[in-house]
A and B are shown apart, each in its own frame.
Chain A
Amino acid sequence: DIVMTQAPDSLAVSLGERATINCKSSQSVIHSSNSKNYLAWYQQKPGQPPKSLIYWASTRESGVPDRFSGSGSGTDFTLTISSLQAEDVAVYYCQQYLITPITFGPGTKVDIK
């Protein structure tokens, strides 16, 4: 199984400041056939289901604000919120979907400082 880890467990950022979440996989999530990173990011607000933000490590879902960006390749990935807004308070999960079992990171809780 591919083990996903995230850091930090939680962070508090002032409104308008940058938030950075790191995700690491225990093995590469690059598919040999297309060289794509099979890595997604999800946002989950309290009492709500997860929402897809980023896929292929860096492609934003339609409608996701451009303050959210994903980067990285292979085993190391980053989700950046360039200017934190109040509505961004949530738990963020990375997910590898290269192989089953599909696995998620433990989540990073983002709060306002």
Chain B
Amino acid sequence: EVQLLESGGGLVQPGGSLRLSCAASGFTFSSYPMTWVRQAPGKGLEWVSGISAGTTFYADPVKGRFTISRDNSKNTLYLQMNSLRVDDTAVYYCARRYGDRNDYWGQGTLVTVSS
């Protein structure tokens, strides 16, 4: 069974940093591109970043502040978030990419940026 488990969320002050992790199991992690998607409270879905065969992609609002990476030996996806802003407050989901769409999603981890 495919499972994705995010962790690392929490409360951080504006300008601070957090690193999110997504532990994957039930599939050959190294074979799949992966994605981070976020959802601000009461709002819709927003694609944040993706990683595919070593190539990384970012949404404009996070470019230069967030870094996506993966450790295939640990079956784990990461999102390093620096210079956090209040409008980065959201639930962050990791999702597997298969056939280019996101076929499996984790339960999400809440990031709150507030002073």
Tell me if B27 is interfacial: C-beta within 8 Å of chain A: no
Known: A61-B103, A97-B100. A49 touches B108 (CB 8 A): yes
Question: In the complex, what distance in Å separates the CA atom of A102 from the CA atom of B103?
Answer: 14
Docked-complex contact B93 and A104, CB < 8 angstroms: no
Question: In the complex, what distance in Å separates the CA atom of A40 from the CA atom of B93?
Answer: 17
Known: A100-B57, A101-B59, A101-B60. A52 touches B47 (CB 8 A): no
- Nearest Cβ distance between residue A85 and chain B, in whole angstroms? 22
Which positions in B face A, CB cutoff 8 Å? 35, 37, 44-47, 50, 57, 59-60, 93, 95, 99-108
A99 and chain B: residue at smallest CB distance? B57
Known: A49-B107, A100-B57. A55 touches B47 (CB 8 A): no
Report A-chain residues with C-beta under 8 Å of the C-beta of B95: 50
Docked-complex contact A97 and B101, CB < 8 angstroms: yes
Question: Interface residues of A: mostly helix, strand, loop or mixed?
Answer: loop
Docked-complex contact B101 and A104, CB < 8 angstroms: no
Docked-complex contact A104 and B100, CB < 8 angstroms: no
Q: Which of A50, A52, A56, A61 contacts B45 (CB 8 A)?
A: A50
Report B-chain residues with C-beta under 8 Å of the C-beta of A100: 47, 50, 57
Which positions in A face B, CB cutoff 8 Å? 38, 40, 42, 44, 48-52, 55-56, 61, 93, 95, 97, 100-107
Q: Which of A44, A61, A102, A105 contacts B47 (CB 8 A)?
A: A102
Report B-chain residues with C-beta under 8 Å of the C-beta of A56: 99
Report B-chain residues with C-beta under 8 Å of the C-beta of A48: 107
Contact sample, A vs B, 21 pairs, CB 8 Å cutoff = A42-B45, A44-B45, A48-B107, A49-B105, A49-B106, A50-B45, A50-B105, A52-B105, A55-B101, A56-B99, A93-B45, A95-B45, A95-B101, A97-B101, A100-B47, A100-B57, A101-B57, A102-B35, A104-B46, A104-B47, A107-B44
